[in-house]
Amino acid sequence: MVKRGGRGNPEQLESRLHERTARIGIIGMGYVGLPLALAAGGAGFPVLGFDIDPAKVALLNAGRSPLEHLGDAAIAALRRRGRFEASDDFARLGEVEVVVVCVPTPLGRHREPDLSFVENTARTVAGHLRPGRLVILESTTYPGTTREIVKPILETSGLRSREDFFLAYSPEREDPGNRDFTTTRIPRLVGGDGEPARDLACAFYGGFVEHVVPVSSPEVAEAAKLTENVFRAVNIALVNELKMVFHRMGIDVFEVIEAAATKPFGYMPFWPGPGLGGHCIPIDPFYLTWRAREFGIATKFVELAGEINRMMPAYVVGRLAEELDRRFARGLNGARILLLGVAYKKNVDDTRESPAFAIWELLRERGAAVAYHDPHVPEIPKIREHADLAGLASIPLTAESLAAFEAVLIITDHDAVDYRLVRDHARLVIDTRGRGRDLGGGFLPA
Beta-strand (E) ranges in 225-279? Answer: none
**Catalytic residue list contains 280:** yes
Closest CA to 171 of 117, 207, 203, 213: 213
The single residue of 280, 389, 408, 430 carrying the catalytic annotation is 280
Q: How do beta strands 134-137 and 369-373 pair? A: unpaired
Residue type, 303: E
Cβ proximity of 31 and 350 under 8 Å: yes
The rounded Cα 138 to chain-centroid distance in angstroms is 12
Asked whether the CA dihedral 381, 384, 386, 390 is positive or negative, the reply is positive
Beta bridge partners of 409: 339, 430
Opening angle at CA 156, ends 155 and 161, nearest 5: 5
Q: Is the dihedral of CA 180, 118, 48, 166 positive or negative?
A: positive
Distance of CA 5 to the CA centre of its chain: 35
Q: What is the dihedral of CA 380, 383, 387, 392, to 10 degrees?
A: 0
Separation of alpha carbons 70 and 17, rounded Å: 26
Which residues are tagged catalytic?
Answer: 280
